Amino acid sequence: MAANKSQQLDPKKTLQEIEEKFEMFQILNEEGKIVNEEANPNLSDEELVELMSRMVFTRILDQRSISLNRQGRLGFYAPTAGQEASQLASQFALEKEDFILPGYRDVPQIVWHGLPLYQAFLFSRGHFMGNQIPEDVNVFPPQIIIGAQFIQAAGVALGMQKRGKKAIAITYTGDGGSSQGDFYEGINFAGAYRSPAVFIVQNNQYAISTPRELQTSAKTIAQKGIAAGIPSVQVDGMDPLAVYVATKDARERAINGEGPSLIETVCYRFGPHTMAGDDPTRYRTSDTDSVWEKRDPLVRFRLYLEAKGIWNEAKEEEIIEKAKEEIKEAIKKADAAPKQKVTDLINIMYEENPYNLDEQLAYYTEKESK
C-alpha cells in the first residue's frame, strides 16, 4: 500500500532544517563590541596586542607587495586585505608542530608560522629557493592548483595520526575552491579516518569574478561538511576573536581524536583576485565594497583594543614603521639570491636523476660554463 502524503518525506523541509542550524558565529561586532561574552576567549592583553600587531603588519605587507608587483619586483601575487582576521587569527590558534597547507593567497599564515619573509618574496618570483622550507618550519609551499591542498592535508593529517602526534594539519581555500572535487575528496577522506585536520574555506564572496551564489545553491558552505560526517561551523571571518575560537576548538577536537572540522569564514577581499589583470570593478559595485569596508577586521579590532586601553595611534604607527623596515630588508635579501639556473632545477628535482635528466644536466652544465 502506498504511503499517504503525510508520511512522505519532504526533502525541501529537511534541507531547510539543516541550513537553519548554520547561524554565523560571532563574538566581536562591527562596532568593536563583544556580543557573545560566553564565547570570548579572554586572551591576555599581550596576546591581543600581538594579534593586532600581526594584522597591521600584514595589511602593510599587502600594500607593499602590490606596489612591488606593479614595479615588476614581484611575480604572482594575490592580495589579502580584508582577510587578515580569517588568516591570522586562525594561525594564532595553532602550535608550532602543526602543519599549514596554504593556498596561494595564504602567504601571511606561513610567514607568521616561521617562513622567512624573503623566501615568500622568492616564491612569488618563481625562484626555487622560495620553496626550500626550513627544517623546523611546518608549512608547505602555497598550492596553485585550486583545492589540491585539501587532499594533501588529509594525507598529512593521517600521517600524524599514524605516528601518534598531538598536532594537526590545517589547510585553506576560497569559496571557489569548495566547488572543486578535491575539496570533497579531502574532507571525506579525513572524515572517514577521523584524522586530525582542520579545513578552512575563506568565503570572500567571489571566485575571481564568479559570485558565491552562482557556484552553489547551498545557503552556506559550512553545511557541506555534513556529507563527510564532520563538525562544521560558519564564522564571521572579519571577527578575529570568533575565528580564533572556532579554530582553537577545532584543533582541540582533532588532537583529542574526535576527527576533522570544516570552518567557513565569511569575509571579503578588498582588492583584486590577483595582480594578474583582474579588475574587480567589472563585477563588484562601490556600494558592495562600502558595506564590507564597514566590517574591516582591523577597524573593529582596533576599536575593541582602544576601549580596553591597550592600543593607540602611536602603537600602530610603530608597527607600521617596523613592517616597512622588515619588508625593505626582506626584499634586499631576495634581490641578493643567486640567479636561478636550469642546472639548479635539474639538481633538485629528484634524489637520483633518470638518464634523460642526466643528459640534460650535462648539456646545460657545459652551456652555463661558457
Higher pLDDT, 20 or 88: 88
pLDDT tens-digit map of 91-106: 999 999 999 999 999 9
Q: What is the pLDDT of residue 158?
A: 98
Q: What is the mean pLDDT of residues 126-149?
A: 96
Asked if the model's pLDDT at residue 110 lies above 50, the reply is yes
Q: Which of 268, 347, 315 is nearest to 57 (CA)?
A: 315
Pair (330, 354) in one structural domain: no
Residue 73 has what DSSP assignment?
A: S
Q: In the 8-state DSSP scheme, what is residue 201?
A: E
Cell digits for 341? 639556473
pLDDT in tens, 251-310: 999 999 999 999 999 999 999 999 998 999 999 999 999 999 999 999 999 999 999 999
Report which of 4, 37, 61, 47 is spatially closest to residue 324, judged by C-alpha positions: 61
Report pLDDT digits (tens) over 188-198: 999 999 999 99
350 in the same domain as 227: no
Helix (H, G, I), strand (E, B), or coil: what is residue 20? Answer: coil
Structurally, the chain folds into a number of domains equal to 2
Find out whether 221 and 175 touch, Cβ atoms under 8 Å.
yes
Q: Are residues 345 and 328 in the same domain?
A: no
Cα 135 vs. chain centroid, distance in angstroms? 21
Q: Please check the confidence at residue 223 and state whether its pLDDT lies above 70.
A: yes
Calpha distance 278→172 (Å, rounded): 21
Q: Is 274 within a domain?
A: no
Within this chain, do residues 71 and 202 fall inside the same structural domain, yes or no?
yes
Q: Are residues 261 and 345 in the same domain?
A: no
Residue 27 is assigned to a structural domain of this protein = yes
Q: Are residues 256 and 345 in the same domain?
A: no
Question: Strand 261-266 relative to strand 210-211: parallel, antiparallel, unpaired?
Answer: unpaired
User: pLDDT at position 8, please?
Assistant: 67
Task: Grade residue 343 by pLDDT with cuts at 50, 70 and 90.
Answer: very high
Catalogue the long-range contacts made by 287-295 (C-beta closer than 8 Å, 24 or more residues apart): 292/82, 292/238, 292/268, 294/30, 295/30, 295/238, 295/268
Mean pLDDT estimate for the chain: 95
Instruction: Provide the pLDDT confidence category of residue 5 given band limits of 50, 70 and 90.
Output: low
Is 9 among the domain residues?
no
348 and 223 co-located in one domain:
no
Cα distances (Å, whole numbers) of residue 269 to 78, 127, 174, 208: 10, 27, 11, 10
Tell me whether residue 248 is in a domain: yes
**Weakest-pLDDT range from 6-20, 134-148, 226-240:** 6-20
Which of the four pLDDT bands, split at 50, 70 and 90, describes residue 1?
very low
At residue 32 the predicted structure's pLDDT band, cuts being 50, 70 and 90, is very high
Q: What is the mean pLDDT of residues 312-326?
A: 98
Here the CATH number for the domain that contains residue 40 is: 3.40.50.970
Catalytic center residues: 269, 273, 283
Residue 4 lies in a domain: no
Domain identity same for 32 and 103: yes
Tell whether the model's pLDDT for residue 328 goes beyond 80.
Answer: yes
In this structure, the dihedral spanned by the alpha carbons of residues 189, 193, 198 and 202, taken in order and rounded to 10 degrees, is: 20
- Position 133 scores a pLDDT of 96
CA gap 303, 25 in Å, rounded? 20
Chain-centre distance for alpha carbon 362: 41
pLDDT tens digits, 153-165: 999 999 999 999 9
- Grid cell listed for 324: 616597512
Is residue 45 in some structural domain? yes
Percent residues over pLDDT 70 in the chain: 98
CB atoms within 10 A of CB 184: 17
Mean pLDDT (whole number) for 200-227: 94
- Higher-confidence residue of 12 and 150: namely 150
| Same-domain pairing of 248 and 355 | no
301 and 347 co-located in one domain: no
Report helix, strand or coil for 206.
Answer: strand
CB environment 110-134: b (16+ within 10 A), e (fewer):
bbbbebbbbbbbbbbbebbbbeebe
276 belongs to a structural domain: no
C-alpha cell at 259: 576527527
Same domain membership, residue 355 and residue 244: no
228 with 85, same domain: the answer is yes
**Which domain does 144 fall in, by range?**
17-269+281-337
pLDDT at position 4: 55
Please report whether residue 62 resides in a domain.
yes
